Structure 1
Amino acid sequence: MELPIERYDKGTYIETNTKNKISRHSTVCGTQNIVLGGKNCVNRQSIVHAECVIRGDLKHIQVGKYCILSKRSVIRPPHRLYKGEVVFFKLEMEDYVVIGEDSVVAAAKIGSYVQIGKNCVIGARCILKDCCRILDNTVLPPDTVVPPFAVFGGNPGTLVDQLPESAKLLHQELAQTLAANFVPQ
Structure 2
Amino acid sequence: MDPPIYYSTAEFIETDTGNKVSRRANISGPQNIILGGKTIIASGAIIRGDLKRAGPGHSVVISLGRYCLVSEGCIVRPPYKTYRGTFNYYPVKIGDHVHIGANTVVEAATIGNYVEIGKNCVIGKFTIIKDCARVADGTVVPPNTVVPALSSFAGSPGRFVGDLPESTQEVVEARTKQHYGRFQPMER
Question: TM-score normalised to the size of structure 1?
Answer: 0.94
**1:161 Cα deviation after fit:** 1.1
The reply on whether 1:159 has 2:164 as its aligned counterpart is no
Task: Give the aligned residue type for 1:29.
Answer: S
Q: Residues of 2 paired with 1:3 and 1:116: CA distance?
A: 21
Measured against aligned partners, the alpha-carbon deviations of 1:93-149 in whole angstroms (never above 9, x if no partner) come to 010000000000000000000000000000000000000000000000100000000
Equivalences for 1:22-171 in 2 at 5 Å?
A: 22-37=21-36, 44-58=37-51, 59-171=60-172
**1:6 Cα deviation after fit:** 0.9
Task: Give the aligned residue type for 1:63.
Answer: L
SS class of match (1:170): helix
Q: Residues of 2 paired with 1:86 and 1:120: CA distance?
A: 26
- RMSD, matched Cα: 0.9
Question: TM-score normalised to the size of structure 2?
Answer: 0.92
SS class of match (2:184): strand
Give the structure 2 partner of residue 14 of structure 1.
13
**1:56 Cα deviation after fit:** 0.5
**1:5 Cα deviation after fit:** 1.8
Give the structure 1 partner of residue 56 of structure 2.
none
SS class of match (2:177): helix
Q: Residues of 2 paired with 1:121 and 1:168: CA distance?
A: 23
SS class of match (1:131): coil
Give the % identical residues.
Answer: 43
SS class of match (1:98): strand
Measured against aligned partners, the alpha-carbon deviations of 1:10-64 in whole angstroms (never above 9, x if no partner) come to 1100000111000000000011111111xxxxxx210000000000011210100
Measured against aligned partners, the alpha-carbon deviations of 1:138-181 in whole angstroms (never above 9, x if no partner) come to 00010000000000000000001110000000010111111111
**1:78 Cα deviation after fit:** 1.1
Gaps of 5+ in 2: 52-59
Task: Give the aligned residue type for 2:38.
Answer: Q
Gaps of 5+ in 1: 38-43
Aligned length: 178
Task: Give the aligned residue type for 1:8.
Answer: Y
Task: Give the aligned residue type for 1:26.
Answer: A
Measured against aligned partners, the alpha-carbon deviations of 1:47-84 in whole angstroms (never above 9, x if no partner) come to 00000000001121010000000000000111112234
